[in-house]
Amino acid sequence: MKVSVEMKHSVRVLFALLIGSLPLSAQTANPTQHPVPEPRKVTYCELAKDPAAYNHELVRLTAFVTHGFEDFHIAEPNCVMPPERFSVWVVYGGKAESNTAYCCPGESGRETRTDSLTVEGVQIPLTGDPTFHQFTDLLKNEQDTTVRVTVVGRFFSGAKETINASSFWRGFGHMGCCSLFVIQRVEWFEPHTRSDVDYTAEAGWYEKEGCSYKSVRYLRHVSISYSDGTAEQAIAEQRLADTSQAWALSDPQRVAIESLKPLYPRKVPVLRSVKKTPVRQVFRWKNGKQSVVVVVIRPYWLSLYAAAGSVAWISTTIKEAECH
């Protein structure tokens, strides 16, 4: 059967219309190319429960990031942690450096690396879009800070080690402290727009003791980055403030005194205010030859647990300095 010129033309037009109606990705896809993997959605608590199950996985999670001196971690305060010590160090994929000052090795003073990052044979790219640059600008502008983020990246569990009957997941970051999360894309972060919360991550650790001292002993340090139960204690104190102890929302000096009572049961501390801001107050008590410093702040990360958005005052650091 002969096919007319008109019919051939009609077939070509119909074929072109069909191809044009396909998505652009389908028109240009190379059948030999591998599809971009979809990240596996996980929580920080799930990573902590079984790090090895997610080793080398591309994952998406929402959590807090802390950044400061010897600190670039992902953290979540409400996890019931396993017996093994677990923490996650953070770096960027691609060629971007975080400029975090830490040991063995450090990244201080460098903005980019020569080659794209490869970890354990896996090369990790980086999406350097406006959201990523806004996030890194925030970290540069606030030298010690805590940020709520949603990130996609590659997780590396490291190795499980046992030292003095205690088990740790180690291999990356400061002194090989941690597992590793390599950020491939920052999808979202919460801007720092509130003036009624303390965004810092150090939680009063660097506040001065106020005397020439021989030694300093830390009696309390509540940090979102630690897996020692102190963050859970702060959440419990926030819930008490929301229900039966409303004074914790407005009376930082009382919060400081109440936190000292279990440590000095037979004494009545007389506190002197040495620093006062809307989000942080520092008190000092001269206890004989000792100088006791109490730092009380309204931690930003507690806003996630505040019933009405009002963050309670929490005693985050208590340290005792033996004075000359």
Q: How far from the centroid of its chain's Cα atoms is residue 69's Cα? A: 14
Pairing of strands 40-41, 58-68: parallel
The secondary structure of the chain in percent helix, strand, coil, rounded to multiples of 5, reads: 25, 35, 45
Distances (CA, A) of 45 to 49, 51, 61, 75, 186: 6, 10, 10, 9, 20
CB 203 within 8 A of CB 317: yes
Contact between residue 215 and residue 322 where contact means Cβ atoms under 8 Å apart: yes
- pLDDT tens digits, the chain, 324 residues: what are they? 444 545 444 445 444 444 444 443 343 344 444 566 799 999 999 999 999 999 999 999 999 999 999 999 999 998 877 777 899 999 999 999 998 988 765 454 567 888 999 999 999 999 999 999 999 999 999 989 999 999 999 999 999 998 888 898 999 999 999 999 999 999 999 999 999 999 999 999 999 988 876 789 999 999 887 666 789 999 999 999 999 999 999 999 999 999 999 999 999 999 999 999 999 999 999 998 899 999 999 999 999 999 998 999 999 999 999 887
In this prediction the pTM is 0.85
Give 91's Cβ-side CA count (13 Å radius): 30
